[in-house]
Structure 1
């Protein structure tokens, strides 16, 4: 049988190879740990031996390897949100919503008129200062949740249940945003508040049916008032138009009668002047003119003298086609 051939590597070669392997590993790991990438919507906060060094913009960056520099990448240009009283499934932010038991507590509130209401809302925010966000407060997003809940309870507690559920939603959103932004700046969380949106605002389930009936009654009342106002706006202008038309017609008729009266007066005065000059002639002329106007309206009349004894005067000699007698 053939015996295996043992090849012995000199000790110095073996030690040198291990050294080169160690050097290669060190170089590769140094190259890997000295580069990093900051995404387009983010900024990188660089720490050196745990102390803040600088904030870098997006792109391929270099740092001291082997853990000398540590980088936190924060999405400063992305709008983040926190949900209160409800939860949207599939959220990537762990602080976007709370546990189910906590949600029930968050949305249960008391209004200024001592009524209960369930208020769900969203806080939309951005990381405005990465350095403050990382190092000034231990849990900035958790602090934001507590502060937001406190602010919303304060704002809701200053209003009636009708304002919270119906007409006062926009005012509540604006006031809550201003108060939350003021407190966030005061606590130096490194967060900027973009918007607060109220979602579902309802009375508690045991009284929700009664509250809906009240709302329906109020809506019906508003509808009837609007219909009445519509009819009023339709009828009143039309009545005013008819009244104006009649007034203008009356004024025109009055003006006509006045002008006619003035004309009659002027005619009478001129006639009186002529009468004073020749009374008999004027009297006769007036009589004849009056008879001229009156006689055609009387129809055909036959006036006989008491001495008439023949039938000839009774014939209609002026009617060419008629020979009948007129009695």
Structure 2
């Protein structure tokens, strides 16, 4: 049954209020409630009221509650991929790893920094090359934080400082490189030079950043001259193709040329040895002939003359002319000798053919052709001799 139903004592309510003017005024005042709570707590802790109604017990309770809240609020968590930079009254204190930690609230302040995620920062723009051409270059730098304290407090904005260093380094490298190298063969060198220059630049400011990779995206010429540069690139590719074809041809021809050169050297060496041996033989023959010449100079001289004339006439053309009868007769002895030698060769060939057929006839059956191959071959041989 409710306290304010008819028949109940309305002078009593849950808050212990006395009716004012015969009407219920609702819940009691907050100040009055706090006084009652303070008096009760004062009785518990043995305290009394001070001047002006101040309660030491209430103050202690408030302080205890505040201390509990303050202690609980000091717990914080650092994620797995992060590290926390702790400041004590604004001064660097320590760097904590991931996990649950505690700090005194309002005294220490923690700044979590992601040290495992690889981030990227782009840079692009139209830049002037070494040969005074304009080219659009794009680059993407991937980095990771390796020193949270330096990353957070050495500069105002580490990412902005890195962006400026990337742009400055890229423009410096492009300004010292020709456009052909940027568009074609020198792209890897531009990438390496830019990477090294970025590392040198950020090392001076201690940004706490480690460059993981530098991606040099395809460069292109301005749209106004793109067609001309496409033709230049195609010509460069044709040049490289011709060079490769020439190298392949050289690889094919060079071994043959080396073989010929080796053969010529070997032939020259053999000729050298032949000439040396022949000269040594001539010297040996002269040494043997010298005693005979000393014993009989005239006979030896005549024999040497005849031998020399025989060698000379043996290697020269000979013509016999008879002019005694008044009619000039011309007899080519060389032609006659060649004809005689050819007839002898035919005779030898005929004899060899006859011997072959004779052996075949002996090995064949008696039912073969009645014609005599021996006679035919002899006639053929005689015809050749005739």
- TM-score range, shorter-chain basis? 0.5 to 0.7
Match among 54, 74, 77 for residue 94 of structure 2? 54
5 Å matches for 1:116-135? 116-135=134-153
The superposition leaves residues 211-244 of structure 1 with CA deviations (integer Å, 9 ceiling, x where unpaired) of: 1111112212322332233234234535766898
**Aligned residue pairs, count:** 247
CA distance in 2, matches of 1:130, 1:299: 107
5 Å matches for 1:241-256? none
CA contact (8 A) 2:165 2:198 kept: yes
1:297 and 2:376 equivalent? no
Alpha-carbon spacing, 1:153–1:8, altered in 2? closer, same or farther (3 Å): same
Larger radius of gyration: 2
Partner of 1:73 in structure 2? 112
Structure 2: which 5+ residue stretches go unaligned? 17-32, 42-56, 270-343, 355-365, 380-386
Alpha-carbon spacing, 1:153–1:240, altered in 2? closer, same or farther (3 Å): closer
1:136 and 2:175 equivalent? no
CA distance in 1, matches of 2:231, 2:181: 17
So what's the TM-score if we normalise by structure 2? 0.53
5 Å matches for 1:1-327? 2=6, 5-8=12-15, 11-15=34-38, 26=66, 29-65=69-105, 67-85=106-124, 107-237=125-255, 297=351
**Secondary structure of 2:117's match?**
coil
Higher RCO structure (Cα 8 Å, ≥6 apart) = 1
**Secondary structure of 2:184's match?**
helix
**CA drift at 1:114:** 0.9
**CA drift at 1:189:** 2.2
**CA drift at 1:182:** 1.8
**Secondary structure of 1:195's match?**
strand
**Secondary structure of 1:167's match?**
coil
So what's the TM-score if we normalise by structure 1? 0.62
**CA drift at 1:61:** 1.1
CA contact (8 A) 2:71 2:104 kept: no
**More moved, 183-192 vs 152-161:** 183-192
CA distance in 2, matches of 1:323, 1:113: 97
Partner of 2:357 in structure 1? none
The superposition leaves residues 80-99 of structure 1 with CA deviations (integer Å, 9 ceiling, x where unpaired) of: 221123xxxxxxxxxxxxxx
Structure 1: which 5+ residue stretches go unaligned? 86-106, 252-289, 301-319
**CA drift at 1:7:** 2.1
**CA drift at 1:44:** 0.7
The superposition leaves residues 172-224 of structure 1 with CA deviations (integer Å, 9 ceiling, x where unpaired) of: 22222222222212122222333322113111122122211111122123223
**More moved, 141-150 vs 24-33:** 24-33
The superposition leaves residues 20-58 of structure 1 with CA deviations (integer Å, 9 ceiling, x where unpaired) of: 995686456434421112222321111122221111122
The superposition leaves residues 143-179 of structure 1 with CA deviations (integer Å, 9 ceiling, x where unpaired) of: 1111221111111101111112222222222222222
Once superposed, what is the RMSD of the aligned Cα atoms?
4.0
**CA drift at 1:112:** 1.0
